[in-house]
Structure 1
Amino acid sequence: MPSLGISLLKLYLPLMGWVFLGLALGQRLPPATMGILGKFLFWIGVPISIVAFLRRASLSGPIWIAPVTAWAAIFLGAGLAWLWLQHQPQALALSKPDLSKPDLGKPDLNEPNPSKPTRGSFILAAMVGNTGYLGYPVTLTLVGSKYFAWALFYDLLGTTIGAYGLGVVMAARYGMGVQPYGWLAQALGKNPALWSLGLGLTFRAVPLPPLLEQSLQIAAWSNVALSLILIGMRLSQLSSWRSLRLASISLGIKMLVVPFLLGLGLWLVGVQGPAQLVIVLQMAMPPAFATLVIAEAYDLDRDLAVTALAVGSTGLLFTLPIWLWLFQ
């Protein structure tokens, strides 16, 4: 138990510190600052961190289990969310639009029957988690850089492709907006994290001068801090707390049921120890910010997506001790 408390203290102090700093900055700095920081991390910061952490990560063992489990978590989360909607008496029939309402097209989450866009956001929030910006620092702090490759493969070969692949297909099915499917290919092809994965794997064994190697590691950890600051800045802009009930149910599937079931499944097939913990932590992350991007692009229920992001990011502080206690 002391080691559990120390592990959480090592995580929560920097995690909450950087996020709270981002919350404060997000309320004071111009909104354009958040966009600039996000673009920097997307195109430069995160790719540098991937290359740097891969140099110290171990690729031994059945690392392919990480992306396979990621896809199992995506399908299980989406399936459980769909089944819940199907078996709820209040969710069996779609709401009929009321032409007398001035806000037609914006679903009221307090009505008993969720509309198609609301159902789409509900399923999407249960599918993919924030395994990059949030999953990376959590994994690095609690498990260490040796098993970072497991988290990396889970994120890039599972969550990223799942969000902009299956997530986009699902959003097009439930959404009210119209977007070309070519957006999927562009989103994946332009993702620099995927390119940096190949670059890092290719040159991970190439020796570098000590000063350059140290500078690369410092830059990588600095980008982790910037990622947490960006999360805080984005959370500072989330003002909607509608549909707390639906968001809580979707988060329960995403952050509790799926990690527990698949975590036990990993134990049954012999995946235990740090590798198991890394995968469980990635599965237990709150919904990814990509869910909000997709919800906006395909005109899903943005309010539900926002609520799920805010509640999930806060709830992570309370769910992490559960997974450390069960799987550490």
Structure 2
Amino acid sequence: MIETLFHAYTPLVIWTGLGLLLFRYIPVNFPKLLSLFLYWVGIPLQILVLARHSEFSGAVGFTPAIAIFVLFLSTSLAWLTWEFLQQLSTRHLAKPYFQGKNSLVNSLLLNFSSLTRSSKGSFILAAMLGNTGFVGLAITPSIISADNNNWAVLYSVTNNVFGTYIFGVFIASYFGYSGNKNHWWTQLRDVITVPALWAFLVGFFTRNISFPETVESGLQVAVWVVIASALLLVGIRLRSIKQLESFELALIPSLLKVVIVPVLIGLGASYFGLSGDPRLVLVLMSGIPTALSVLILAEVYELDRDLLACSIAITSVGLLLMLPLWLAWFS
């Protein structure tokens, strides 16, 4: 298992670490330009390639349905947790449960009452969206057999298309716009104009069209360049976190993201008779760190950026801690 973990951690540590090191030496506008490149070019390119090479038959064909179920489960848990904490915060202000000024729970409940609508959107996105395309597909080749790779690919495609660019855009648009702009046709417009959605359709409907060998090879290389660029941006964004207070709130959606949801999915898969690599893929993909794309959505829809950046940091560390347990329990 040590060798498996070494191969899984290597791309994460190298490219994210490089981003942390280069933070002081890069132009101020570089992270934003790289984010725009990934949004308009990198992510659509990756989805196009994955859609062209994915098989949608057999047992693996249920993967998209499972991925969508995980999205709804994560969203529901995050929403209910937010509502519970909001009620608890209101009661805490009237009659404090924890008197210690330095108590983490006391500080969280006091700060929770002052959070804005944009923070709620970021809270839900942090628990819902996982970095399956960049982190997930960088890890899975090291821990599963090639025969089961389609489980990871289909989950990643579904998560990116339906998760990030349909559910994610809808939630970001809903919580990010002011009341006079928050209409249903605004969310619909935002969903149908994202480039990744159209890239998926192009890739899906060109599966039977053969590209020249040089083009296919170039696309495969480009996908790995995109993954490395995204991990680099993760390191840069982690280094740029300024408000450490956001870590307190980010702990909750991070716990949902990398502990509670993947354990529930693993137990559920076991209950329905799934085992081995397919079960491990579902656990891994459901518990992958918060997606880098949430920062892009935060920029576009003016959500709470610090909360999302802190969630990415916490869940990235959480993945390193949880991966050995997932391998021991669900592989």
TM-score range (shorter-chain normalised) is: 0.7 to 0.9
CA displacement at 1:43 relative to structure 2:
2.0
Partner residue of 1:111?
110
Partner residue of 2:169?
164
- Aligned pair in 2 of structure 1 residues 239, 183: CA closer, same or farther (>3 Å)? farther
| Residue aligned with 2:131, SS | coil
**Which of 213, 223, 228 does residue 225 from structure 1 map onto?**
228
Q: Which amino acid aligns with 1:180?
A: N
Assess if the C-alpha contact under 8 Å between 2:172 and 2:301 holds in 1. Answer: no
Partner residue of 2:24?
27
**Matched pairs, number:** 311
Alpha-carbon distance in structure 2 between the residues aligned to 1:17 and 1:193: 27
Q: Which amino acid aligns with 1:150?
A: Y
Alpha-carbon distance in structure 2 between the residues aligned to 1:109 and 1:57: 44
Partner residue of 1:309?
312
Partner residue of 1:101?
none
CA displacement at 1:176 relative to structure 2:
7.2
Partner residue of 1:155?
160
Alpha-carbon distance in structure 2 between the residues aligned to 1:54 and 1:294: 23
Q: How does 1:191-210 map to 2 (within 5 A)?
A: 191-210=194-213
| Residue aligned with 1:165, SS | helix
Partner residue of 2:34?
37
Q: Greater shift after overlay, 197-206 or 285-294?
A: 285-294
Alpha-carbon distance in structure 1 between the residues aligned to 2:304 and 2:201: 36
Partner residue of 2:10?
13
Assess if the C-alpha contact under 8 Å between 2:35 and 2:296 holds in 1. Answer: no
Q: Which amino acid aligns with 1:111?
A: L
Alpha-carbon distance in structure 2 between the residues aligned to 1:74 and 1:28: 38
Partner residue of 2:187?
184
| Residue aligned with 2:220, SS | helix
Partner residue of 2:97?
none
- Aligned pair in 2 of structure 1 residues 55, 300: CA closer, same or farther (>3 Å)? closer
Alpha-carbon distance in structure 2 between the residues aligned to 1:209 and 1:290: 31
Q: How does 1:133-144 map to 2 (within 5 A)?
A: 133-143=134-144, 144=146
Q: Which amino acid aligns with 1:241?
A: L
List gaps (5 residues or longer) in structure 1.
97-107
CA displacement at 1:231 relative to structure 2:
1.7
- Aligned pair in 2 of structure 1 residues 276, 14: CA closer, same or farther (>3 Å)? same
Alpha-carbon distance in structure 2 between the residues aligned to 1:13 and 1:134: 11
RMSD: 3.2
Alpha-carbon distance in structure 2 between the residues aligned to 1:216 and 1:298: 31
Higher helix share: 2
Question: What TM-score does the superposition give when structure 1 sets the normalisation length?
Answer: 0.79
Alpha-carbon distance in structure 2 between the residues aligned to 1:62 and 1:267: 15
Q: How does 1:243-322 map to 2 (within 5 A)?
A: 243-292=246-295, 301-322=304-325
- Aligned pair in 2 of structure 1 residues 91, 55: CA closer, same or farther (>3 Å)? same
Q: Which amino acid aligns with 1:161?
A: I
- Aligned pair in 2 of structure 1 residues 201, 275: CA closer, same or farther (>3 Å)? farther
List gaps (5 residues or longer) in structure 2.
95-106
Question: What TM-score does the superposition give when structure 2 sets the normalisation length?
Answer: 0.79
1:325 equivalent in alignment to 2:331: no
Alpha-carbon distance in structure 2 between the residues aligned to 1:32 and 1:157: 30
Assess if the C-alpha contact under 8 Å between 1:255 and 1:284 holds in 2. Answer: yes
